[in-house]
Structure 1
Amino acid sequence: MKFCAPIAASVLVAGGLLLAGPASAADDSAETWTMPNVVGKTLAQAESSVAGLSDSVTFRTVSTDMTGFGRQQLSSPNWTVCATAPRAGGTITAKTTVVLGVVRLHTESC
């Protein structure tokens, strides 16, 4: 099953906007990290990659079913990451919620 990139992007953006929370004033002293490229990895691998960015900060990650069916990701090794917000190379702070758009591993495609 293939999914159109614009549809996937709009689902991910909508999910990211709902989860991002209110904007706050920029803190110039806040530490930042670069979002790794986790597209194509399992959800478990992606979450591990994000968590491994810092030993002192716990990053908030959420996943969303890119098919639009709203399925929960109960077993993270069984899902493949198709898209992220922020995108690979983007900036992450301690307050960033990383959104991972996923489909079922081996049965669905991005």
Structure 2
Amino acid sequence: MLKFVVGVALATVATSCGPQTQPGGPPVTPTSSFVQHWAMPNLVGSGLQDAQDAIQKLTDNKIFFTSSHDAGGRGRHQVLDRDWKVCNQNIAAGTQIQAGVKIDFGVVKLSERCP
């Protein structure tokens, strides 16, 4: 009995993985890779922490990490993200992004003007 059940299961898997046909059309091979895209928001003027949170929320944490750099050219590190604001972003608003993309924000302290 066990051989029969295993044989039926293997036959089912083998037939469900092969090419499928659409009525009147060519064979269609199913794909298992689905790439999700999102439109990059305009985050210029946002606080750095808010910008990071917005990307995580938009992508349901598929893009969790974003980087940032001192747009003032002083090489300062963004230790407290809430103390910085976004002056520019390396990906233009409206551009399609997907998991694995590197998002980088140019930032200055809240009390400073963007260069």
**Fold shared by both chains (TM-score > 0.5):** yes
SS at match of 1:70: coil
The residue number in structure 2 matching 1:51 is 56
Please give the per-residue CA displacement for 1:5-55, whole angstroms capped at 9, x wherever unaligned: xxxxxxxxxxxxxxxxxxxxxxx9421111111110100110011111122
Whether 1:109 and 2:87 are equivalent positions in the alignment is no
Runs of 5+ consecutive residues of structure 2 not aligned to the other structure:
1-32
Matches within 5 A, 1:33-52: 33-52=38-57
Runs of 5+ consecutive residues of structure 1 not aligned to the other structure:
1-27
Whether 1:88 and 2:100 are equivalent positions in the alignment is no
TM-score norm. by structure 2 comes to 0.66
TM-score norm. by structure 1 comes to 0.69
Q: Could you list the structure 1 runs, at least 4 aligned residues long, displaced by more than 3 angstroms after superposition.
A: none
**One-letter code aligned to 2:82:** P
How many residue pairs end up in the alignment? Answer: 82
Q: CA RMSD in A?
A: 1.5
Larger radius of gyration: 2
